[in-house]
Amino acid sequence: MKFVCAVAAMIVAASFGPANAQDAPLIPTFVDETEAAGVDSTYAGEWEYIVGGGVATFDCNADGMTDMLLAGGAAPATFYANVGAVGQELKFEARASGLEMDAISGTYPVDIDSDGITDIVLLRVGENVVMRGLGDCKFARANEDWGFDGGDAWSAAFAATWETGADWPTLAVGNYIDRTQEAFPWGSCTDNWLHRGAAGGFAPPVALKPSYCALSMLFTDWNRSGTPSLRVSNDREYYKGGQEQLWHLRPGEEPVAYTADEGWKPLKIWGMGIASTDVTGDGYPDYYLTSMADNKLQTIATPPAEGQALPATFTDVAFARKAIAQRPYIGTDLNPSTAWHAQFEDVNNDGFADLFVAKGNVWAMPDFALLDPNNLMLQNPDGSFTEAGDKAGVASTRASRGAALADFNMDGLPDLVVVNRGEKAQLWRNATVGGGGWIGYRLEQAGVNRQGIGAFVEVRAAGRVQTREITSGGGHASGQSGWWHVGLGPEASAEIRVTWPGGKAGEWEPLAAGAFYTLSPDQPAAVWSAP
Amino acid sequence: MDSGRRIFGLGLFAAVGLAGVPRQLWAQGARPGPDDVMKTWYRLVLELVRHTATYTPPVASRAFAYLGVTAFEVVAQGDAGLRSLAGQVNGLAPLPKAVAEVDQAAVLHAAMTRAVAHLFGNTGPTGQRAMAALSRSLGAEVAEGLSGDILAASEVQGDAIAAHILAWADADGGAIVRNMGFPMTYEKSVDPEKWVPTSAIVQQQAPLLPEWGQNRTFAMPGGASCGLPPPPAYSEDPASEFFLQAKEVFDIKANLTPEQRAVARFWSDDPMLSPTPPGHWISIAFQVLDRDKAPLAQRAEVLAVLGITLADAFIACWHTKFEYDLLRPVTYIRRTMDPKWESIMTTPPFPEYPSGHSTQSAAAAVVLTALIGENVAFEDATHVDDGLPPRPFASFHAAAEEAGISRLYGGIHFRAAIERGLEQGRCVGAFATALQTRV
């Protein structure tokens, strides 16, 4: 029995700390429980596995606890069922799930067939595979049943959306270089694919031309137009004439790249990961783009004006907000960093989204840090960030790749799992004492797109509104579904509003802090309790 | 050296490809000759320059110099009409001689294998894999039909020549580049005319390679041998020459024509996104030599002397840049004209005066004109893989002039830096063309 009691406001209500806006951020405490929790997985392999190394977090047995799948590279992936208890130390159990396939670089959870059971996308060096969730954490290959052409490429990026009117998701798959090229692989970026829905499955994939060696993709409604665009982060190491990309994806139309006339400005980086949240508080998503020696925090350059189209122009504010994280902050190896997965989550529940970045050398590149600590940058009330990875205990110098901040023990504090290349993955429990209030929520709607991908969730507390776009994709080879988390600072309650895919906004609804809720259209939030 | 083994089966070139170097280098089934080996390795080197993080333009120029000398010395040992550069360029002692019969292509392959691996030892796993793959595959083709003794002697000789060159290279002051060439700490000057960072990248809050001008030169006596007078005196007076030169940059951007934008883009040659400015000139040289079906000896001397002058140009230019430490147009224009002004091109993270592309392009033009000819028209397809169409030029000097003025169109240099940079380059080039490559 995992749940020692129903999850409700009593879990940590007494522990809400001060977290005043003027205070320096509370340094969180993470405890390495990898071994004790039973996690033993390594992302292994040669050159074809220099990128990738993902982890998917999801609930596949409807017990509310977040399970996970860790990519193994050349070795089989490992599925871990969460067998821990609420508020307790982390505990996982490796189980046969049907997902234990080799050559997996990345993995993303999404309920493709809208049956209420999470399915899993396996990005591979070779054929990609969609795995239908059968319940009780069992999965079965569904490529043939769903008409999904897995191709034969080096896939490392993924994103999903439901286009307006579609009853089947649109999946974007990002592909890397032509792995058969040895002496002259540069310029051999292979086509990315767009798998759109057809009757009861997928149509043949459409090539997203041009493609520039994508390592992260994200469907995101960057301008709150109601129609998400596809953001693609590309690795300049291999493309010729390439750049970062933003694609229009209008229902029933071919994808079209944004142009300079629309404000899009070329950006050429070693793009490896995308994280998004509204850092600036303007209601629009901001984007963290990981790279080498330099990372970007992009925010809309032009303040939104009533009735005017928003130019697709972004300003890099990473330097101004001290979020560059360009080189190690501990140790003696101060060569430039190599950044991969990034994710915003409020790890200390002070009401400000923090930023985790997984770091790690590509493969014995001496011009870059060989001992490259992961970053945990805490957001200050003024919107700047302060590095706390070492003090928080997550400054691992293993060659990290994918990661996930997820509340595995449902105590209201996001825990952390990191996949490392050539070394064991690591799992930390967030054991912070004295953090602020929090709310956990998940979206659930009838019909298709059960998980509400594309919705915007606003949480109003302490005079601020925190906005999260519910997405499937991004990061580096790593995806999440299920519970979403928001910190509230000193507040014991907050108001929440969901703007559902399609644009229908719900009412603001007061919720007590310290509980998990299921949010559905036209219904009051339901406090979630164990089955 | 058995020059009779050379096979010039070069009539089957495919379309120009990566950085202007043909992809298909010799007839199918034919054994590659020394010039095939040379071109194939240079094709890879142009990619490695683009994809190795430390390979900013000065670092790239250095590699081209040592690789050019390596190839030339191999060829010179098999050609009685060529004269070794030992004793001519600074610090190069006579090279080891072969003690047994060798094959020129095999010697060159062995020498390039070792030299490239050394100079690009820090490249990433894909570059390492590429070097190994090329060494293996090209080596197998080169070995085709050779006796074991000749092949072994050739490999020993190529390795010895490369080792000799690399030992020479390691002592020039530029062998070790840390943090991609940016000092970990840097104290900015408070004087208004001095360079200040222009980038929002933390690493670039210090200037690139401030000590590069102290490196050992090749053909010119030292880094100060082609010094320049100071730039126009700093002033914020609208009537001053300095202000007027900045106003020219400002006005050009405001009225930029599509052709000017295309010129700026064509010569941008950004590190990590192109073969860099010195690689661009190496590419030009290959395109012209291939078009003209130049003989091996000429190819070897062009690569050596061009590489040498490119390297000397960057040493001279960097010496002058840090002598005057002048601010960039973006800094001045924001201060005096428009606080939100941005340059068309990304402003490089080091002092402005003189323009590096101008210096090295003029030096390259001097060398190519001397070794290939005056008023040699050509079409430059260096950037076709990046989607930029070829550009025609009436001569090497015309190309150098355009490379220089591209920096004005791009908003990263004042006119004085371009004009004086071109002057400096012509000075540098003259030292290189004074080298004796023929007996």
Question: For an interface test with B, which of A365, A370, A421 has the most B Cβ atoms less than 10 Å from its Cβ?
Answer: A365
Q: Which residues of B touch A292 (CB under 8 A)?
A: 53
Q: CA B159 to CA B155: how far, in whole Å?
A: 6
- Judged against a pLDDT cut of 80, whether residue A16 lies above it is answered with no
A407-420 pLDDT per residue, tens: 999 999 999 999 99
CA distance A410 to A3: 10
Is A231 strand, coil or helix?
Answer: strand
Q: Which residue of B has its CA nearest to A48?
A: B126
The reported pLDDT for the residue numbered A177 is 97
Q: Give the pLDDT band of residue B29 (cuts 50, 70, 90).
A: low
What was the pLDDT predicted at B318? 98
Q: What are phi and psi of A73, to 5 degrees?
A: 70, -125
Task: Read off the pLDDT of each residue in A159-169 and give the average, rounded to a whole number.
Answer: 96
Nearest by CB: A367 against B133, B180, B388: B180
Mean pLDDT score, B257-283: 97
- B385 lies within 8 A of chain A by CB: yes
Nearest C-alpha of chain B: how many angstroms from A507? 41
Q: How many CB atoms lie within 10 A of CB A306?
A: 4
With bands split at pLDDT 50, 70 and 90, how would you rate the model's confidence at B5? very low
HEC sequence for B86-121 = CCCCCCCCCCCCCCCCCCHHHHHHHHHHHHHHHHCC
CA distances to A57, A60, A130, A218 from A171, rounded to whole Å, are: 18, 21, 11, 10
pLDDT of residue B68: 98
Chain A CB within 8 Å of residue B109 CB: no
What pLDDT does B24 receive? 45
Interface contact flag, A327 B387, Cβ < 8 Å: no
Rounded to two decimals, what is the model's pTM? 0.94
Which residues of chain A have a Cβ shorter than 8 Å from any chain B Cβ?
47, 50, 182-187, 236-238, 240-241, 268, 292-294, 316, 318-320, 324, 326-327, 334-336, 362-368
Shortest CA distance from A337: residue in chain B: B179
Cβ(B306)–Cβ(B364) under 8 Å?
yes
User: Rounded to a whole number, what is the distance in Å from the CA of A158 to chain B's nearest CA?
Assistant: 23
Q: Å from B126 to nearest chain A CA?
A: 8
- A5 has a pLDDT exceeding 60: no
Which of B50, B133, B386 is facing A241, going by the closest CB pair?
Answer: B386
**How far does the CA of residue B53 sit from the closest CA of chain A (Å)?**
7
- Looking at per-residue pLDDT, the higher value among A422 and A5 belongs to A422
pLDDT, residue B26, reads 55
Distance CA B185, CA A1 (A): 57
pLDDT, tens digit, for every residue of A194-209? 999 998 899 999 999 9
Per the structure block, which two tokens stand in for A497? 């509003």
Q: Do B180 and A336 touch (CB under 8 A)?
A: yes
Res. A151 pLDDT band, cuts 50 70 90: very high
Tokens matching residue B391:
């550009």
Cβ contacts (< 8 Å) between B177 and chain A: which residues? 367
Q: How far is residue B1's CA from residue B154's CA, in Å, rounded to a whole number? A: 9
Least Cα distance to A401 among A372, A431, A430, A365 occurs for A372
Backbone dihedral region of B225: left (phi > 0), alpha (psi from -120 to 50 degrees) or beta?
Answer: alpha
pLDDT above 70 covers a percentage of chain A that reads: 96
The pLDDT confidence band at residue B15, using thresholds 50, 70 and 90, is: very low
Q: Which residues of A touch B52 (CB under 8 A)?
A: 367
Q: Evaluate whether A295 touches A318 at the Cβ level (below 8 Å).
A: yes
Q: Which residue is closest to A296 within chain B, CA to CA? A: B201
- For residues A408 and A32, give the distance between their C-alpha atoms in angstroms, rounded to a whole number: 13
Question: Around Cβ A166, how many Cβ atoms within 10 Å?
Answer: 16
Q: What is the mean pLDDT of residues B82-97?
A: 98
Distance between CA atoms of A507 and A495, rounded to whole angstroms? 9
A66/A60 Cα distance (integer angstroms): 8
* Mutation site for A-interface testing, chosen from B112, B202, B269, B273 by largest number of A Cβ within 10 Å: B202
Q: Which residue of B has its CA nearest to A46?
A: B125
Determine the residue type at A360. Answer: G
Backbone angles phi and psi of A197, in degrees to 5:
-75, 150
Following DSSP, what letter does each residue of A56-114 receive, concatenated?
A: EEE-SSSSSS-EEEE--BTSPPEEEEE---TTS---EEE---S---SSEEEEEEE-TT-
Q: How far apart are CA A499 and CA A470, in angstroms?
A: 10
Output the pLDDT for position A295: 97
Per-residue confidence (pLDDT) for residue A530, from 0 to 100: 75
Rounded to whole angstroms, what are the CA distances from B232 to B316, B396, B414? 19, 28, 10
Q: Which of B51, B201, B388 sits opposite A186 (nearest CB)?
A: B51
Contact A148, A201 (CB under 8 A): yes
Mean per-residue pLDDT, A248-276: 96
Asked if residue B174 lies in contact with residue B310, where contact means CB atoms within 8 angstroms, the answer is no
Beta-carbon separation of A327 and B272 below 8 A? no
Residue B25 has what pLDDT? 54
Predicted confidence band at B48 (pLDDT cuts at 50, 70, 90)? very high
Annotate B268-290 with b (16+ C-beta within 10 A) or e (fewer): bbebbbbbbbbbbbbbbbbbbbb
Q: Do B54 and A336 touch (CB under 8 A)?
A: no
A182: chain B residues, CB-CB within 8 Å: 129-130, 133, 137
Interface check for B394 against chain A (CB to CB < 8 A): the answer is no
What SS3 state is found at B364?
A: helix
Note the pLDDT of residue B214.
98
For testing contact with chain A, the best of B23, B185, B256, B273 (most A CBs within 10 A): B273
Least trusted range by pLDDT, from A17-31, B137-151, B258-272, B285-299: A17-31
B184 touches chain A (CB under 8 A): yes
Q: How far apart are CA A424 and CA A408, in angstroms?
A: 19
Q: Which residues in chain A are closer than 8 Å to B183, comparing Cβ atoms?
A: none
**In the prediction, which pLDDT does B14 show?**
30
Nearest CA in chain B to A50: B125
Smallest CA–CA distance from A184 into chain B, residue = B130
Write down the ipTM of this complex: 0.91
Q: Does B130 touch chain A (CB under 8 A)?
A: yes
Whether the CB of B256 is below 8 Å from some CB of chain A: the reply is no
